[in-house]
Amino acid sequence: MDNHDVPPTEGPPAGVSSVRSDAAALRAFYHSQATRPIAFRKEQLRALGRAIEVHDSDILDALHADLRKPRLEAYASEVGFVLSDIDYAVRYMAGWARPKRRRAPLISWPSRGCVRPEPYGAVLIIGPWNYPFQLLVSPLVGAMAAGNCVCLKPSELAPATSAVIAQIIRDTFPKDYIAVVEGGRETAEDLISQGFDCLFFTGSARVGRQVMKAAARHLTPLTLELGGKNPCIVCRDIDLRAAARRILWGKCMNAGQTCVAPDYVLVDTHIENRLLTEFKRVLHEFYGDAPRQSLDYGRIVNHRHFERLVGYLDQGRIVCGGEHEADDLFIAPTVLADIHQSSLVMQEEIFGPILPVVPFQSIDELVVGLRQRPKPLALYLFTRDRAIQERILAETGSGGVCINDTMSHLFSKNLPFGGVGTSGMGRYHGKASFDCFTHNRSVLRRSMWPDPGFRYPPARHSLATVRRFYHLLMRR
């Protein structure tokens, strides 16, 4: 996912002194203890929800301006998604924030232990351009629910959405509680250098490495939500029409510019031609003879990404699609076949509306090939065979798995979302968003009496006695 790898061309620079003063104000407000009460957190989240609803049309207009997102798709994947996050957090956060009792060891009797969920403090969230509202504000919900003060850095590559977010936040919250800093790459670097108490970044693996390196200078705990080449496996026992619809729905949302979109299809060689036929039929049903005229299809974010994607079109046989128009940043949904594994389209994350289809001969061959690749953010598997399902789950790795559908796992508040390896680290969504911005502080309280002397020097017992003591008291 390329999100912050373009030199800034839009968005005012924040300035180091301004960034420093914003960070200091956030820390001061946090140390005032104002964010600690659950009632405060709930009211602030409700205020955020009300502000989003008031600016609903402004947000949808901005998403259309930045990415030509259809309004229905934009609401479902961005605005509605965030509003449901807010409702869920308000409903359950009191329980999440309650200290949890833990059993204390007998060696410290009489005592009691607990784990106190506590906010990190002042946290930084850096958002991407592909879902510029949801992927910035959804983590914000978790950070607010956990009791943090927050600095938001929207993507400069989605300037209209960045401006609307800035307006919503500045009209709703004091700057020392929730701050928005607009700008490009240098602004992001200045923000990271302030040593925030926690950092949440969504973007490409390449930039994620740079962010992690910069955060390491301050030992800042961080969550990285990155991307990868998400495989979509189609076995011969599946309903091909339903599979084709679900695969192309996930691939074509936001014109393929989704970190969990199916990146390529691995199909049983016996049904490859039938699946390709279904793909052609389904794309025609979705977008008609002229996808460029469809109100349900978006555009590529900028010319740099447009040219990169057009370069993939000659790396296989175009089964359907392939039309493109630079002036409109339009690339039709395209299915490729007869692709060489060494081609760039099979080595790089596509992040666009181009879907390579590659046949496989056996599950053994399939598993070996998947193991040779970095672990993706998502893996999709279409089969009714429970044995194959369990084998793929056991013998491959990925951030998440969705069986017989694509992308639906994102919408569950009970399924933590995140990557593994080069696809990221850390989890969020639902309670996991609260946990992401929470330090679980262990506390043990002990009475001053009794105070036996056996643990103090000089030693009064043999090693054999101590061994028996540990066996009885410390292993419980």
Q: Which residues are catalytic?
A: 225, 259
Residues near 109 by beta carbon (within 8 Å), at least 6 away in sequence = none
Nearest to 350 by CA among 210, 231, 184: 231
Pairing of strands 324-325, 330-331: antiparallel
CB-based contact 417:443 (threshold 8 Å): no
Sheet of 111-119, strands arranged across: 100-102, 111-119, 438-446
Q: Find, among 206, 205, 225, the residue nearest to 400 by Cα.
A: 225
Task: Locate 178 and state its tokens.
Answer: 């929730």
Which phi and psi angles does 107 have, rounded to 5°?
-65, -20
Taking the C-alpha atoms of residue 275 and residue 283, their distance in angstroms, rounded to an integer, is: 12
Report strand pairing: 354-360 vs 264-268: parallel
Q: How far apart are CA 405 and CA 297, in angstroms?
A: 20
Q: Are 353 and 334 in contact (CB under 8 A)?
A: yes
79 vs 64: CA distance, rounded Å? 13
Given a contact cutoff of 8 angstroms between Cβ atoms, the answer to whether 153 and 125 are in contact is yes
User: Other CB atoms closer than 10 Å to residue 457's CB: what's the count?
Assistant: 6
- Residue 144 tokens, joined: 């607010």
Tokens read off for 158: 């989605």
CA proximity to 164, closest of 258, 261, 40, 59: 59
E strands, 79-148, are 100-102, 111-119, 122-126
Q: Which of 317, 361, 362 is nearest to 335 (CA)?
A: 317
Alpha helices in 329-407 (DSSP H): 363-371, 386-395
Find out whether 231 and 379 touch, Cβ atoms under 8 Å: yes
